[in-house]
C-alpha cells in the first residue's frame, strides 16, 4: 500500500454480498470490507476472535452463548467482537457495509458451519481490485 485507500471507493468497486474484499493487511491480519444483505449462515471460528465495524446500514449478529441465544444490533459506527468459539450468524435485513479485522486466511464461513447457500461466498477474502462483481 503506497497510498491511502478510500473506503467509499473500495465499496463502490464490487457488488457481491457476503463476499469480503481485503483492503489492507496488518502483520498477519486482514482488514476486509463486505456488503451484507439478508442472512449469512451459523458458523464458528474456533481459533480467532472476529472484529466487526459497521460502515453503513445495520448489521445484526445472532450469538449462541452458554446462557442461550441472543442477537446484537450494530448500527452505523458501531463495533463488536465475536469471541472465538462462539457460533454466530450475521444478518442484515436492510443491507449494510462492514469492515472486518481477522487473521489472514480466516474463512468467511468459519471452521464449522451450516450448509452454505449460493448467496454466501466461501472465501478467505478476495483482492480488492479483483474478480467478478
Residues from 17 through 76 that contact a second copy (CB under 8 A): 23-27, 29, 31, 48-51, 53, 55, 72-75
Under 8 Å between Cβ of 40 and 80: no
Residue 78 or residue 119: which is nearer to a second copy going by CB?
78
b/e burial code for range 41-51 (CB count within 10 A of at least 16 → b): bbbbbeebebb
Report the site for a second copy in 73-102 (rule: CB under 8 A).
73-75, 77-81, 84, 99, 101-102
Cell of 40: 449469512
Min dist CB 130 to a second copy, Å, is 18
Closest CA to 40 of 129, 131, 122, 99: 122
* 78/131 with CB nearer a second copy: 78
The binding track of 111-130 with respect to a second copy, each residue x by CB under 8 A or -, is --------------------
Q: How far apart are CA 132 and CA 100, in angstroms?
A: 21
Residues that bind a second copy (CB under 8 A): 1, 3-8, 23-27, 29, 31, 48-51, 53, 55, 72-75, 77-81, 84, 99, 101-103
Amino acid at each position: 500500500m503506497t497510498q491511502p485507500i478510500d473506503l467509499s471507493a473500495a465499496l463502490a468497486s464490487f457488488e457481491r454480498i457476503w463476499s469480503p474484499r481485503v483492503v489492507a493487511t496488518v502483520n498477519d491480519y486482514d482488514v476486509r470490507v463486505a456488503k451484507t444483505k439478508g442472512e449469512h449462515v451459523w458458523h464458528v471460528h474456533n481459533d480467532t476472535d472476529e472484529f466487526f465495524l459497521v460502515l453503513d446500514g445495520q448489521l445484526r449478529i445472532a450469538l449462541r452463548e452458554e446462557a442461550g441465544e441472543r442477537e446484537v444490533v450494530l448500527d452505523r459506527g458501531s463495533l463488536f467482537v465475536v469471541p472465538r468459539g462462539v457460533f454466530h450468524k450475521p444478518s442484515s435485513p436492510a443491507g449494510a457495509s462492514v469492515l472486518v479485522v481477522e487473521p489472514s486466511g480466516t474463512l468467511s464461513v468459519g471452521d464449522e458451519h451450516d450448509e452454505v447457500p449460493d448467496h454466501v461466498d466461501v472465501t478467505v477474502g478476495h483482492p480488492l481490485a479483483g474478480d467478478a462483481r
